[in-house]
Amino acid sequence: MPIAHVEAPTFGSVILARILLKLGGVSLVRLLNLLNLEALNFYLLAYFIFFTVFTTIICCFQSDFKRLIAYSSVSHIIVIPFLIFSSNLLSVKTIIMIMLFHGLRSSLIFFRVGVLYSLFSSRLLIIIRGLIVVSPLFSLLLVLTFFFTLSAPPFPSYVAEVFFLIRSFFLRNKILFIFLPFIFLGLVYNIN
């Protein structure tokens, strides 16, 4: 999926992030009653934990801005299976909130990357470091978009992330210690 985001034009990435990725989440919610979650839970939970931390580590080493956004999008949307495994009404509501806010934030940030590419003719992070000198207003909008991506408290995505942490704690009480590096590494690559 990250390769499709990187190779697509800006509008293609926005459509892919906003609509097409959410169709998979909606289908998982629709098939929630048909899945044997107890059998899948034991085998797939460790895989999703490893994949969550691994994709966040990959994000910390990206130099291409659009590739960074694509991998961070994948590492953020991987929280949906954890909510499916904890299957109750709050989990379904949290899945819907995460998909809604993920669609908003990822399309906003892909749009910002497209504008940056038109300004600098490059997506390398080292080249676009002086953005505040070129466009202070766009820098402010980009910082606000990053805070929305981080699910900072004034933004509505914060509520969805708190519900996710609560539901994952009820799934396995030790899983919260796995998500602390995930949250910290998310902060690291967003500050980068």
**Residue 36, pLDDT above cutoff 70:** no
pLDDT single digits (tens) 160-172: 888 888 887 777 6
Write down the pTM of the prediction: 0.82
**Residue 173, pLDDT above cutoff 80:** no
Tokens of 138: 């766009």
Helices (H) and strands (E) in the chain, counts: 11, 0
pLDDT single digits (tens) 123-162: 888 888 777 777 888 888 888 888 887 777 888 888 888 8
Q: What's the chain's length in residues?
A: 192
Q: How far apart are CA 149 and CA 164, in angstroms?
A: 15
Average pLDDT over residues 83-106: 82
Task: Look at the alpha carbons of 137, 140, 146, 152 in this order and tell me if their dihedral is positive or negative.
Answer: negative
Nearest to 28 by CA among 109, 112, 84, 77: 84
Note down the domain range covering 71: 2-191
The number of folded domains in the chain is 1
